Structure 1
Amino acid sequence: MLPTRVVITGLGALTPIGNDIKAYWNGLVSGQSGAEPIHRFDPAKHKTKFACSLKGYDPHNYLDARDIRRMDPFTQYAMVAGDEAIQDAALLTSLVDKERVGVIWGSGIGGLGTTEATVLALAGNNMDPKINPFFIPKIIPDIPAGYLSIKYGFKGPNFSTVSACASAVNAIITAFQLIKLGDADVVLAGGSEAPIIQVGIAGFNALKALSTRNEDYLTASRPFDKTRDGFVMGEGAGALILESYAHAQKRNAKIYAEVVGVGMSADAYHITAPDKGGVMLALQRALASAGLLPDCIDYINAHGTSTPLGDINEIQAIQEVFGAHAYRLNISSTKSMTGHLLGAAGAIESIATILALVHQLVPPTINHKVLDEAIDSRINLTLNKPEKRSILFAQNNAFGFGGHNVSIIFKKWEGF
């Protein structure tokens, strides 16, 4: 039997620079910054007073009031992006057996906002134990997968992946593997996060992970720049429909790209500090999984968070793995525009990588002024403006606290 090939047939996005796929791509190629002052709560006492928030998002435009009450925003975001991907893939037809459709969803934190609000309410009421009966279902990270399957009747494999900022790519990789194994024909995969709340900002401030460039927030997310001082918090969701090629062909589905390789590793080093060796393993395993030599890759969407250690670690790992070809790659960090969506980051960045293949256009790393001396100046970081180039294979990286490393390779769709 021929090996099962896995393709992407649907996309959905809810991001700080666009509330659907078209708007998101336009935001990427125009170099739009999603950063703005925090208005959801008074940030005066916090070191960081800005974030990459959703713009013009109203849950009532997508969900009924009953569902809104029962869902934390991270689940609402999943429902919005998931629905766009499902509609984009035209999945809701008699040609699709819903018993063979799975949902794998990633989130690093889950319903943190609901947890914060509930604890504050309890404390303010002398710990009266009367709380919302939906408290537990609102906070658990697996609940978006459950809600999505219930809404659409998808009865295939259904669960969540939790690996901090690698969560969404782990979801996509799991979907890929399930289809390869024959356990599903189609899988909705992605990730969502809603961390722009007081405890989210305070917690990452305590780790000294967030930028505190409050007077220059629009350019605060500046991966690879010498003056970077931390990442900018983001929120939203990304969703992808993965499908076996045979199944997609049978129903004449639109195809964006093919998934050809995946790599996973652990640093086994430190819970928050990065390790070059672990990143290298993930990159190498993705290439081996795809059966590709390093010089086959044209573009890498880097994890590139804008943290002092993380950016250097990733670029040095790429240089080690790709050798001289590292200087022929285009590399960019779309977090410079969207901020860091934590567990959802890998979903929207995989979408950006796929759209780069579709449009043969590399989205930029914006906000760059001064290159860090620790980063080789010969590396093409696609600075400040998009770059047109021929892209056949593109790779997306994601790394999470705990030492979780993942990398995934997509191929331009050219048919067979």
Structure 2
Amino acid sequence: MKIHFIAIGGSAMHNLALALEHKGYTITGSDDVIFEPSKSRLAEKGLLPEAFGWFPAKIHGALDAVILGMHAKSDNPELLRAQEIGLEIYSYPEFLYEQSKNKTRVVIGGSHGKTTITSMILHVLDYHDRNVDYMVGAQLDGFDRMVHLTEENDFIVLEGDEYLSSPIDRRPKFHLYRPNIALLSGIAWDHINVFPTFENYVDQFRIFVDSIVKGGSITYNEEDPEVKKVVEASDNAIRKLPYVTPEYTVENGQTLLETPEGPMPIEVFGRHNLGNLAGAKWICQNMGVDEDDFYEAIASFKGASKRLEKLAEGKTSVIYKDFAHSPSKVAATTRAVKEQYPDRKLIACLELHTYSSFEPEFLKGYKGALDAADMATVFYLPESVSIKKLDPVSPQQISDAFERDDLQIFTEASSFKDFVFKQNYTDSVLLLMSSGNYGGLDLEEVAELV
């Protein structure tokens, strides 16, 4: 097949392009800007566009299909040309469904935890040499790409993102996969720029549960009241399989998971990650992995990229970075690190970076999110708010939202960097949380602080 990607440089899009090239398809693509690591990875396979920009001449009748990325606009010149000549146009999730409609589709959904759970499942399956197709939102150790597609594998494991499918398809991605086996980890209002009310956001998960193939199953986090409500209210003819956080202890900075064979040391930590592990276990069992084999494999799982990733560790100090940015994720990550290191000073630094983070209503959700930290800071760049064409957000608004008197707020990259580099990290943990880059903070330099 000959496939053209409009906006090939995105994290998800370039991985799909690499997967299809690996499968033997002929791939072309365009984008107006491509950053690393996408740029080098595409170049290595000869898929990097010769010039940046949009070129309608690349769209022609010999193409079998066009895949349209979210980075493109609805008036993109290449898209308009594809529509004009009547080419088949797919969004990213639509094409994944086309590639997997004859497979057993396993879809992991939820506002938080879905990347980690999907990564845990893939780690266990890989450990036991069980070949599956997959799409996951983080780079994993031992995996060449974030997307893998074949003709022969029976299963495909998909991370079910609730964000929109494409500029011309406003449906959430996970509505399009029609899972046979599904998981729902949690519901906490996110993507406020797309789903303006909490009820509207929750509706997307109701649709997801109702989209599960008849006779399929939903494994769900019974401890999340919204998840429980959504799943148990569904009239879909599916099996409903609840899970809860397993028993565990923390001893001298080591998390021990209770198993039928006794306490087992594991690499990941935090109550939310133990809950993720429980969900992954049930999905793996649904895919034919028995409990003992799951425990053997999961002991070596070190975490998904950017999810509670250890940057550096000294004799009495450690530095973590995490992708956490929404209130529920920030609270869970901060509590997890404090629980793991109760006798150390926890310095938690949050960068507000996403559209949602700067919405006044959404900001209120951060109340108490950093309370587990001994020292808490919030960093944001007012110009980021301006670029997103949002109303200005003042440090006072942020202070009021978090309701923490000693919260330190930084609005300049240089002053935030000074703060980070002037701390004494003896008997301390530094936790950096952001989906951005902390105003250009050099994390290799930060790693040398311990």
TM-score for both structures, normalised by structure 2: 0.30
Highest Rg: 1 or 2?
2
Higher relative contact order at CA 8 Å, sep ≥6: structure 1 or structure 2?
Answer: 1
